[in-house]
């Protein structure tokens, strides 16, 4: 099992170029199943989740060519079953359901099991697709979905602005007869990126970024060339690394308009921020101040994906920080590992209280999910001594070559095993 060896206490400097957004590339790769002809997708991050998505497209009959961060998809695949093994590789592969069902009238996949963050239900996905005319049954953990007469556009009001449910409905609706209205939809930037990709293929979609998306389905979809947006969570992770380790860093391609709720927390922590025309500059030259209470919310609120990473940065801050995790049931698994490094954190239910300590100490710690792993790496940068971080496979799901990125900015991080 691979591990990262991190020697803390080194300040960061220089520039980090933000990779393409994992949570945009994944639904866009699923959407690339739809158009006839060839689609070229640029700025696709080289991470295990996108490799899994490419394997799923191949298993659905698409021809894939990946060269660096450019993925070419020949969308003439028309198979409709996704193996259990592929479904288990990546929980969010349920995002293929809407596209495969919409294009082929059928989709068989495994119920995406729970993951490190707790049960990951898909009830909103299922009820919306049923309302569009799909017949969905579950047999021995396999979901069998059919739409023998195709799908019909409908008006759907989501009980919660689920990102995945919004994306699945969008991907089904572009293939459906008539108009689909998605009320209380997710507003994340990745939703707008997916909508823009689909418009580039000829789809008629409007309202993305707001609370209601309208799709006029049934338009013929053709291949296109598209560039995935920068990854706002990776960008904020590098900002947090600099806040924790100290130093000055330019995070290139970070779009500050996507990060307002996170940037305000960094400013409350005493970091100095400024904005270039193509990135964000951060300076952290003194002990951080605790930012008060951090509540995770749907976009444009503070993103749940940044909870662990910001928690790592405030472990040595002056004062106490309260984190309230409102989105996922079980997203404090990094707390125990941070405590092994000397952090003073108490977590109960959806609340964690971090009392800042003067020093963290390098330790042997283990990642058990993607953002929790990134958080442990951030904490290790600010710790005294050496940290060995196991479970690198979780970090590799969302961060391209994290050791190279951080080392190029002055940190001492190497991969062993």
Q: Which stretch binds ligand EPZ (CB under 6 A): 22-30, 39-47, 101-109, 175-183?
A: 22-30
Contact between residue 231 and residue 21 where contact means Cβ atoms under 8 Å apart: yes
Q: Which stretch binds ligand EPZ (CB under 6 A): 11-19, 73-81, 140-148, 158-166?
A: 158-166
The reply to whether 53 sits near ligand EPZ by the rule CB under 6 A is no
Smallest gap from Cβ 110 to ligand EPZ, in A, equals 16
Smallest gap from Cβ 349 to ligand EPZ, in A, equals 14
- E strand or H helix that includes residue 238: helix 232-245
| DSSP classification of residue 61 | T
Closest-CA residue to 57 (of 79, 39, 89, 88): 79
Site residues (CB under 6 A) for ligand EPZ, limited to 368-397: 370-371
CB of 103 or CB of 397, closer to ligand EPZ: 397
Structure tokens at 325: 């995790």
CB of 74 or CB of 193, closer to ligand EPZ: 193
Question: Does the annotation mark 115 as catalytic?
Answer: yes
The reply to whether 124 sits near ligand EPZ by the rule CB under 6 A is yes
> Which is the catalytic residue, given 62, 78, 107, 115?
115
Site map for ligand EPZ, 76-95, x if CB under 6 A? Answer: ----------------x---
Smallest gap from Cβ 168 to ligand EPZ, in A, equals 9
- Residue appearing with tokens 């500050």: 256
- Residue appearing with tokens 């409905």: 169
The reply to whether 160 sits near ligand EPZ by the rule CB under 6 A is yes
For 181, counting Cβ atoms within 10 Å of its Cβ (0-12 exposed, 13-18 middle, 19+ buried), the class is middle
The reply to whether 414 sits near ligand EPZ by the rule CB under 6 A is no
Site residues (CB under 6 A) for ligand EPZ, limited to 228-287: none
Site map for ligand EPZ, 300-329, x if CB under 6 A? Answer: ----xx---------------------xx-
CB of 92 or CB of 253, closer to ligand EPZ: 92
The reply to whether 165 sits near ligand EPZ by the rule CB under 6 A is yes
CB of 305 or CB of 403, closer to ligand EPZ: 305
| C-alpha span between 268 and 278 (Å, rounded) | 23
Tell me the angle at which helices 189-200 and 22-31 cross, rounded to the nearest 10 degrees: 30
| C-alpha span between 164 and 185 (Å, rounded) | 10
Structure tokens at 246: 């100290």
- E strand or H helix that includes residue 200: helix 189-200
CB of 122 or CB of 236, closer to ligand EPZ: 122
Pairing of strands 70-74, 38-42: antiparallel
Q: Which of 39, 93, 162, 253 binds ligand EPZ (CB under 6 A)?
A: 162
For 188, counting Cβ atoms within 10 Å of its Cβ (0-12 exposed, 13-18 middle, 19+ buried), the class is buried
Displacement of CA 234 from its chain's centroid (Å): 9
Q: Which stretch binds ligand EPZ (CB under 6 A): 120-128, 198-206, 341-349, 377-385?
A: 120-128
Smallest gap from Cβ 272 to ligand EPZ, in A, equals 28
- Pure H helices in 269-413: 307-314, 334-340, 370-381, 392-396, 402-408
Name the CA radius of gyration of the chain, rounded.
Answer: 21
CB of 208 or CB of 305, closer to ligand EPZ: 305
CB of 74 or CB of 190, closer to ligand EPZ: 190
Q: Which of 164, 291, 356, 362 binds ligand EPZ (CB under 6 A)?
A: 164
- Which active-site residues does the annotation give? 115
């Amino acid at each position: 099992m691979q591990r990262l060896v991190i020697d803390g206490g080194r300040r960061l400097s220089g520039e980090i170029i933000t990779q393409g957004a994992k949570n945009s590339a994944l639904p866009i790769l699923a959407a690339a199943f739809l158009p006839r002809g060839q689609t070229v997708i640029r700025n696709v991050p080289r991470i295990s989740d996108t490799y899994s998505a490419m394997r799923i497209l191949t298993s659905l009959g698409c021809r894939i060519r990946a060269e660096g961060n450019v993925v070419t998809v020949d969308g003439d695949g028309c198979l409709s079953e996704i193996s259990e093994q592929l479904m288990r590789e990546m929980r969010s592969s349920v995002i293929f359901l809407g596209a495969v069902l919409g294009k082929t009238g059928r989709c068989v996949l495994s119920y995406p099991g729970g993951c490190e963050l707790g049960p990951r239900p898909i009830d909103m996905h299922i009820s919306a697709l049923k309302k569009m005319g799909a017949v969905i049954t579950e047999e021995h953990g396999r979901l069998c979905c059919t739409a023998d007469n195709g799908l019909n556009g409908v008006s759907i009001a989501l009980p919660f602005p689920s990102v995945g449910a919004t994306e699945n409905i969008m991907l089904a609706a572009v293939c459906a007869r008539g108009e689909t209205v998605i009320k209380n939809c997710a507003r994340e930037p990745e939703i707008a990126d997916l909508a823009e990709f689909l418009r580039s293929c000829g789809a008629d979609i409007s309202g993305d970024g707001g609370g209601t998306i309208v799709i006029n389905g049934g338009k013929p979809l053709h291949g296109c060339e598209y560039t995935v947006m920068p990854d706002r969570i990776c960008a904020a992770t590098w900002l947090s690394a600099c806040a924790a380790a100290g130093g000055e860093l330019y995070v290139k391609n970070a779009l500050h308009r996507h990060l307002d709720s996170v940037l305000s927390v960094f400013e409350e922590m005493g970091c100095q921020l400024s904005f270039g025309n193509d990135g964000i500059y951060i300076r952290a030259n003194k002990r951080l101040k605790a930012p008060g209470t951090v509540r995770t919310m749907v976009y444009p609120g503070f993103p749940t994906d940044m909870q662990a990473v910001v928690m790592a940065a405030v472990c040595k801050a002056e004062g106490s920080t309260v984190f309230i995790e409102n989105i996922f049931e079980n997203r404090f698994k990094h707390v125990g590992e941070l405590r092994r490094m000397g952090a003073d954190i108490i977590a109960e239910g959806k609340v964690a209280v971090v009392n800042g300590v003067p020093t963290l100490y390098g330790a042997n710690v283990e990642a058990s999910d993607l953002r929790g792993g990134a958080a442990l790496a951030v904490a290790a940068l600010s710790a005294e001594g050496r940290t060995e971080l196991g479970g690198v496979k979780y970090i590799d799901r969302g961060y391209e070559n994290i050791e190279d990125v951080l080392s190029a900015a002055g940190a001492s991080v190497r991969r062993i095993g």
